[in-house]
Amino acid sequence: MKTPIWLVLACMTASLPIHAEVLHPIELKDQELASLRGRYVMPGRIVSFGIVMSSTWQNARGEVIGASSTLQVQQATIKPQFYVSLIDERGAPTAQGSAQPVAQGSGTVSGGAGLGTTQGVTQVVRAAGDDNSAYNNVNVNVTKADQAPTVQPHGQVLAAGQTLMAENGAGALSVSSTGVGVQMNIDAHGNQGNSVQRLAQGGLMQNTTVLGNGNLVNNVTSLNVVMRQNLPTAASLNGSLDQLKGLRSVGY
């Protein structure tokens, strides 16, 4: 008389909730993988993360205006802060004791109205003069260490909503914090051009427009990541192997 027992077991099995069923792996599409790839690391692996932004403009007579902004985040960091160091270099004097004058820029560029609405990394150089050099660079440096490097902050603290300004013979500089990022602007004197470097809302913009002659412009952003040198343990490796073995039964 075991029929009632089997009947009860069959009814209980049919009444189990969906989440109690055996879970089967689902293959992800390429589009889904593209949105996840490179965004995550194992907890505790990142020891230190830093950003260095630098923008400089040198005119034809050697005058330089610019700034360097740094941000360093470590496990002991309570409140991340951007520190700004201003760059102000005078031109070499002539035999008469004064710097050579810079000819007024007369170049013209057109278009580019949509550059301010781009996403991701945008690098633009537009030049309408002679003997100019302009560089937009992005560096990503990943190193391994057990401890974060000792970094002494220097320069002025850039608070949210604050703007730091400077000016010399090369041009006028402004470094501002919008609360969601940092932006550096340089307007070169003598209609020589302008440059913008902005890091905000997951995107980076480096935009340089040169209208005069003999200018040297640099926009550089470096991302520095230090990851812990911990090797995977035997337990974690065995767990990964068990997961891979489970895929064999479903054809992977």
DSSP state string for 154-189: -SEEE-TT-EEEEE-SSEEEEEEE-SSEEEEEEEET
Residue 123 has pLDDT above 60, yes or no: yes
Rounded to whole angstroms, how far apart are CA atoms 71 and 199? 12
Residue 5 banded pLDDT, cuts 50, 70, 90:
low
Rounded to whole angstroms, how far apart are CA atoms 202 and 204? 7
Residue 42 banded pLDDT, cuts 50, 70, 90:
low
What tens digit of pLDDT does each residue of 179-236 get?
Answer: 778 999 999 999 999 999 999 888 899 999 999 999 999 999 999 988 887 655 665 5
List the chain domain ranges.
Answer: 46-89+121-227
What tens digit of pLDDT does each residue of 70-89 get?
Answer: 988 877 777 778 899 999 99
Angle among Cα 23, 25, 31 to the nearest 5 degrees reads: 140
Give the CA dihedral 117, 118, 121, 124, nearest 10 degrees. Answer: -80
Rounded to whole angstroms, how far apart are CA atoms 134 and 179? 29
What tens digit of pLDDT does each residue of 134-170 get?
Answer: 999 999 998 888 887 777 888 999 988 999 999 999 9
pTM: 0.73
Instruction: Of 180, 200, 234, 220, give the one whose Cα is nearest residue 57.
Output: 220
Residue 241 has pLDDT above 90, yes or no: no
pLDDT at 215: 96
Which of the residue ranges 23-27, 52-56, 107-111, 207-211 would you say has the lowest mean pLDDT?
Answer: 23-27
pLDDT at 106: 82
55-81 residues labelled b (16+ CB within 10 A) or e (exposed): bbbbbbbbbbbbbbbbbbebeeeeeeb
Rounded to whole angstroms, how far apart are CA atoms 238 and 236? 5
Residue 2 has pLDDT above 90, yes or no: no
Q: Which two tokens stand for residue 22?
A: 């055996």
Rounded to whole angstroms, how far apart are CA atoms 125 and 217? 10
Residue 98 has pLDDT above 90, yes or no: no
pLDDT at 196: 95
pLDDT at 93: 64
Residue 20 has pLDDT above 50, yes or no: no
pLDDT at 230: 67
With beta carbons less than 8 A apart as the criterion, state whether 199 and 116 touch: no
